[in-house]
């Protein structure tokens, strides 16, 4: 039988795999094989829509990788047009060649700093698929959420702000309590002076301690230190500057005066000098403004004012007027912070803008902005939000969250106007533009309205997501939308391009907000890694070089990612510590320190070698804000390592080096920002106290001193019943430091705490048991990198951080009661706890910025007294001999004198 016909009837089966996304495969639903697929869109699983393409599928193979994971958020889009617009950051092995955090590594700096950065930072790798990530649950709020109520406000602190970070860590929490009690005790001594002289009424109550310490005994300090007069004048100038700003913000005029007292800048100056600078350097950061429309409306405003000498509210002149004032203020900020010659901008800088923001606030919030909103009103609200972010005065507050109410108003107003996700859907908009509308139909067509709406929503959306990464607050906009990336390809708006990854931004925010006590840290870090890759993807699609920043928004995004990593690392470290997960605690502690070192180096380059970054100097008023927030975190978190030194197998020399590192980063931060930024200036007072607490000699452990002080304070309050007083106006100390209160109860039967030297030992063994497992733990503090920060960048005597609050105020030392009398050189006490008078202790040495420290190298504690008897730890010979005259318990004011040598404050005000 012939075989030829049989062969023709045999058909070869085509081998092919069915490709569906992993979500549809689990759900067993039909997948349309798009990215994202229709079912993932329906079930809100856009960001986890993933295709696993096997290696033997030749059409989609990637050499060297068994499977290729194609997701809706990793940049490997199927659409060829989208692939061109957003090229993938992955190499042939599925690895990103360079971490987005290494951008600064390319800038040449002294000491080979770029090589040090590369040695600390790790490369960003391809995110793992979710099903391969093991669960690792951590608690970001081990002590619960933190809410503070006071006369002016009740505040819920977001989980990544400074206060929450400090409350999460019992070491920092105890240090804050110790510091606040020290300040309060001293304030009580100065109560009479404060009542007589008072403070500037335009300053908040938080300035009372600063102004009181500074004002006391100024003439005496000037005699001791010739530079004190220069700093006192500068400090006084700063107080007056911020007081005048707050006074201008409270500007109150009659409604008629607001309409007739016009503060418009000269028309020629505005159009010929202000507008060009604004359009060239600032507009790209707030691209929602339609400048052609605005120029027409502003021209009409100037004509109206020239003819009528009055603003017409019914025609919305006041909104155009406010926009002019805000643009002028922003241009002034841009010029002042560009660190170049100011002579070319004399006309702009000569404008008195002090009342501008007060006028804008009147017109915005005295009108009906909370009931209805126009496009010009929304413009004003957005410009005010942008100004508060960049402004050197109050801004967003010390915790970067004081504009949440304003942001909620902006989002609600935008939605009321139809500005929402619908602008990017296939739904049609019909505009009915009534007569009298500003802008009029002849000036702005419906298509231009639609483009403006899209631009506004893109910016609002990112600002909402951004604050979630910066301080951990919840996003107001609770949903996302799968925008077709093809619509974003040709967009000139940076915010529109970032919408491509909005679902991932929201996913991360939801993870930390929905259940912060039950977060799978592995999944969170996987999402974060994808976000880093996407950021590289977006930057690669621009025309800039990989390691420079022509766009300040790229710069801000990168620093935002660094800050977020720092925040989640600190949170997981504290979770592992409180849950006794020893191995992961040690691992995360090293990760946190490495991130601190990395950020410190980036700050170093920004402050001292910024020209290598190609940042537009006229954008520094904007980039300074994110740098200020990030640099401040270094000052907040570095002490937590110093306080834990008694637990670790580290030498005193290493502790001293970390203290010097703290001094260096604090000097860098406060010298660069405190002269201009209100929020930075007001932090310098407590930051200097924290540094003084940390910088102790070899035989004085700062944590032991804090424990000794708080235990004594708690024991005294318990015996007096102060903490159990039902009429108390403040939260009792025992609730603020519950673990130390538990420790203090172990000493209830002790007649005197003077002879007790086991505070740290009991804390480690009975209160905080993870300490017992740290005896052999050593953190790699990257000492070779820290040494790069030891060179003082500021001339001797001109370091603001070193000089402020460093000399001794004699009156501050003289805390002895009037009942103490001197007789033949011997102090007699009548019914009070003895203290060493200031005349015996003497003044502390003047600070020498070259030495970095005034105390660590000159410890005398632990030696013998003049008569050969052993000296008590932490006390000088005179103090020990003095206290040996008494058998009573040591007083807390003695401890304060001990740690601050005595308390190191300086007086600056007349």
Q: Please, which pLDDT band fits residue 906 given cuts at 50, 70 and 90?
A: very low
Q: Which residues pair with 52 in a beta bridge?
A: 69
Average pLDDT, the chain: 74
Percentage of residues of the chain with pLDDT beyond 70: 68
> Which of 386, 379, 374, 381 has the alpha carbon at shortest distance from 410?
381
Task: Return d(Cα 191, Cα 212) in angstroms, integer.
Answer: 9
Residue 465: predicted pLDDT: 95
pLDDT > 60? residue 30: yes
Please compute the mean of the pLDDT values over residues 259-266 and round it to a whole number. Answer: 82
Cα angle for residues 662, 178, 777 (degrees, 5° grid)? 50
Token reading at 612: 């290598």
Count how many Cα atoms sit within 13 Å of the Cα of residue 732 in the half-sphere of its side chain. Answer: 20
- Measuring CA to CA, how many Å separate 300 from each of 262, 297, 325? 15, 5, 15
Q: Please, which pLDDT band fits residue 425 given cuts at 50, 70 and 90?
A: confident
Burial class of residue 607, CB neighbours in 10 A (0-12, 13-18, 19+): middle
Of 107-121, 270-284, 301-315, 523-537, the poorest mean pLDDT is in 107-121
Q: Which one-letter DSSP state was computed for residue 864?
A: B
Q: Please, which pLDDT band fits residue 517 given cuts at 50, 70 and 90?
A: very high
Q: Which comes out higher in pLDDT, residue 107 or 114?
A: 114
The string of pLDDT tens digits covering residues 667-694 is 999 999 988 888 888 888 888 888 988 9
Reported in sequence order, the residue ranges of 356-401 that DSSP labels E, i.e. its strands, are none
Helix, strand, coil fractions of the chain, as percent rounded to 5 = 55, 5, 40
For the ranges 78-82, 211-215, 630-634, 899-903, the maximum mean pLDDT occurs at 630-634
Of 151-160, 305-314, 887-896, the poorest mean pLDDT is in 887-896
Buried residues in 219-247 as b, exposed as e (16+ CB within 10 A): ebbbeebeebeebbeebbebbebbbebbb
For the ranges 95-109, 411-425, 541-555, 836-850, the maximum mean pLDDT occurs at 411-425
Residue 208: predicted pLDDT: 53
Q: Which comes out higher in pLDDT, residue 539 or 275?
A: 275
Task: Return d(Cα 859, Cα 863) in angstroms, integer.
Answer: 9
What is the total residue count of the chain?
A: 910
Please compute the mean of the pLDDT values over residues 547-573 and round it to a whole number. Answer: 89
Please compute the mean of the pLDDT values over residues 14-25 and round it to a whole number. Answer: 70
Q: Judge whether 364 and 381 are in contact, CB under 8 Å.
A: yes
For the ranges 176-180, 561-565, 837-841, the maximum mean pLDDT occurs at 561-565
Task: Return d(Cα 868, Cα 8) in angstroms, integer.
Answer: 113
Q: Which comes out higher in pLDDT, residue 264 or 678?
A: 264
* Residue 886 phi, psi dihedral angles, 5° rounding: -125, 155
Please compute the mean of the pLDDT values over residues 109-124 and round it to a whole number. Answer: 44
Residue 896: predicted pLDDT: 45
Q: Which comes out higher in pLDDT, residue 822 or 527?
A: 527
Task: Return d(Cα 289, Cα 279) in angstroms, integer.
Answer: 10
The string of pLDDT tens digits covering residues 272-323 is 999 999 999 999 999 999 999 999 999 999 998 888 888 888 888 899 999 9
Residue 106: predicted pLDDT: 34
The string of pLDDT tens digits covering residues 185-243 is 766 655 544 444 455 555 555 555 555 555 443 444 454 555 555 666 666 677 677 77
- Measuring CA to CA, how many Å separate 6 from each of 1, 12, 13, 126? 10, 13, 16, 51
Task: Return d(Cα 393, Cα 38) in angstroms, integer.
Answer: 49
Burial class of residue 566, CB neighbours in 10 A (0-12, 13-18, 19+): buried
pLDDT > 50? residue 260: yes
pLDDT > 60? residue 833: no
Q: Please, which pLDDT band fits residue 866 given cuts at 50, 70 and 90?
A: very low
Q: Which comes out higher in pLDDT, residue 887 or 585?
A: 585
Percentage of residues of the chain with pLDDT beyond 90: 37
Q: Please, which pLDDT band fits residue 38 given cuts at 50, 70 and 90?
A: confident
Residue 250: predicted pLDDT: 66
Please compute the mean of the pLDDT values over residues 383-406 and round it to a whole number. Answer: 82
Q: Which residues pair with 90 in a beta bridge?
A: 96
Please compute the mean of the pLDDT values over residues 453-468 and round it to a whole number. Answer: 95
Residue 199: predicted pLDDT: 54
Cβ neighbours, 10 Å, residue 812: 23
Residue 660: predicted pLDDT: 93
Q: Judge whether 53 and 18 are in contact, CB under 8 Å.
A: no
Residue 91: predicted pLDDT: 29
Of 135-149, 308-322, 795-809, the poorest mean pLDDT is in 795-809
Residue 803: predicted pLDDT: 75
Residue 80: predicted pLDDT: 30
- Measuring CA to CA, how many Å separate 380 from each of 266, 464, 706? 21, 18, 49
> Which of 26, 82, 184 has the alpha carbon at shortest distance from 892?
184
pLDDT > 60? residue 79: no
């Amino acid at each position: 039988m012939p075989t030829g016909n049989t062969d023709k009837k045999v058909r070869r089966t085509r081998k092919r795999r069915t490709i569906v996304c992993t979500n549809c495969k689990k759900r067993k639903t039909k997948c349309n094989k798009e990215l994202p697929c229709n079912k993932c869109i329906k079930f809100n699983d856009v960001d986890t829509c993933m295709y696993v393409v096997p290696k033997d599928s030749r059409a989609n193979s990637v050499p060297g990788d068994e499977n290729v994971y194609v997701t809706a958020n990793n940049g490997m889009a199927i659409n060829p047009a989208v692939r061109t617009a957003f090229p993938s950051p992955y190499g042939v092995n599925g690895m990103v060649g360079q971490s987005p955090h290494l951008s600064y590594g390319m800038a040449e700096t002294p000491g080979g700093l770029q090589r040090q950065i590369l040695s600390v930072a790790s490369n960003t790798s391809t995110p793992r698929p979710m099903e391969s990530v093991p669960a690792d649950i951590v608690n970001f709020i081990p002590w619960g959420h933190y809410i503070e109520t006071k006369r002016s406000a009740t505040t819920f602190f977001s989980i990544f702000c400074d206060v929450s970070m400090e409350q999460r860590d019992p070491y920092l929490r105890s240090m804050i309590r110790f510091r606040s009690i020290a300040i309060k005790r001293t304030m009580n001594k100065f109560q009479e002076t404060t009542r007589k002289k008072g403070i500037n009424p335009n300053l908040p109550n938080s300035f009372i301690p600063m102004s009181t310490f500074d004002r006391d005994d100024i003439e005496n300090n000037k005699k001791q230190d010739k530079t004190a007069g220069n700093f006192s004048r500068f400090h006084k100038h700063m107080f007056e500057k911020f007081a005048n700003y707050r006074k201008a913000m409270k500007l109150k005029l009659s409604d008629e005066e607001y309409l007739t007292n016009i503060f418009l800048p000269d028309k020629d100056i505005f159009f010929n000098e202000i507008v060009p600078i604004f359009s060239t350097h600032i507009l790209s950061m707030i691209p929602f403004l339609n400048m052609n429309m605005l120029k027409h409306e502003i021209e009409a405003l100037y004509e109206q004012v020239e003819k009528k000498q009055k603003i017409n509210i019914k025609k919305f002149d006041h909104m155009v007027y406010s926009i002019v004032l805000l643009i002028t203020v922003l241009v002034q900020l841009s010029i002042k912070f560009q660190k170049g010659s100011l002579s070319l901008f004399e006309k702009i800088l000569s404008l008195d803008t002090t009342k501008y923001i007060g006028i804008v606030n009147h017109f915005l919030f005295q009108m009906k902005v909370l009931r209805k909103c126009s496009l010009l009103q929304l413009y004003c609200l957005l410009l005010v939000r942008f100004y508060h972010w960049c402004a050197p005065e109050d801004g967003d507050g010390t915790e970067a969250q004081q504009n949440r109410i304003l942001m909620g108003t902006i989002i609600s107003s935008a939605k009321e106007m139809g500005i929402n996700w619908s602008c990017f859907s296939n739904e049609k908009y019909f505009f009915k533009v009534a007569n009298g509308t500003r802008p009029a139909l002849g000036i702005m067509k419906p298509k231009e309205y639609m483009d403006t709406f899209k631009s506004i929503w893109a910016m609002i959306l990112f600002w909402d997501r951004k604050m979630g990464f910066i301080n951990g607050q919840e996003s107001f906009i609770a949903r996302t939308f799968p925008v077709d990336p093809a619509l974003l390809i040709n967009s000139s708006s940076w915010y529109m391009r970032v919408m491509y990854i909005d679902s991932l931004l929201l996913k991360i925010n939801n993870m930390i907000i929905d259940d912060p006590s039950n977060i799978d840290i592995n999944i969170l870090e996987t999402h974060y890694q994808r976000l880093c890759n996407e950021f590289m993807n977006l930057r690669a699609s621009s025309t800039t070089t990989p390691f420079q920043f022509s766009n300040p928004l790229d710069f801000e995004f990168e620093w935002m990612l660094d800050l977020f990593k720092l925040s989640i690392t600190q949170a997981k470290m504290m979770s592992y510590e409180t849950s006794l997960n020893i191995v992961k605690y040690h691992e995360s502690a090293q990760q946190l320190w490495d991130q601190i070192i990395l950020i410190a180096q980036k700050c170093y380059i920004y402050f001292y070698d910024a020209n290598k970054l190609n940042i537009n100097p006229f954008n520094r008023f904007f980039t300074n804000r994110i740098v200020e927030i990030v640099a401040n975190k270094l000052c907040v978190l570095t002490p937590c390592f110093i306080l834990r030194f008694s637990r670790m197998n580290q030498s005193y020399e290493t502790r001293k080096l970390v203290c010097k590192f703290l001094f260096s980063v604090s000097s860098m931060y406060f010298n660069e920002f405190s002269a201009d930024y209100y929020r930075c200036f007001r932090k310098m007072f407590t930051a200097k106290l924290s540094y003084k607490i940390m910088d102790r000699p070899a035989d004085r452990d700062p944590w032991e001193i804090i424990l000794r002080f708080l235990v004594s304070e708690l024991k005294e309050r318990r015996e007096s019943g102060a903490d159990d007083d039902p009429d108390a106006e403040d939260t009792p100390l025992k609730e603020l430091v519950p673990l130390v209160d538990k420790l203090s109860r172990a000493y209830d039967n002790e007649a005197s705490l003077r002879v007790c030297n086991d505070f740290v030992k009991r804390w480690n063994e009975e209160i905080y048991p993870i300490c017992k497992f740290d005896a052999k733990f050593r953190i790699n503090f990257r000492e070779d990198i820290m040494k790069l920060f030891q060179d003082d960048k500021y001339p001797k005597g001109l370091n603001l951080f070193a000089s402020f609050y460093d000399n001794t105020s004699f009156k501050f030392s003289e805390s002895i009661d009037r009942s103490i009398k001197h007789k033949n050189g011997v102090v007699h006490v009548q019914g009070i706890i003895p203290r060493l008078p200031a005349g015996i202790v003497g003044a502390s040495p003047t600070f020498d910025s070259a030495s970095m420290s005034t105390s660590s190298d000159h410890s005398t504690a632990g030696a013998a007294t003049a008569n050969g008897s052993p000296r008590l730890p932490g006390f000088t010979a005179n103090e020990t001999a003095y206290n040996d005259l008494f058998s009573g318990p040591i007083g807390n004011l003695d401890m304060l004198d001990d740690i601050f040598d005595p308390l190191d404050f300086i007086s600056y005000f007349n």
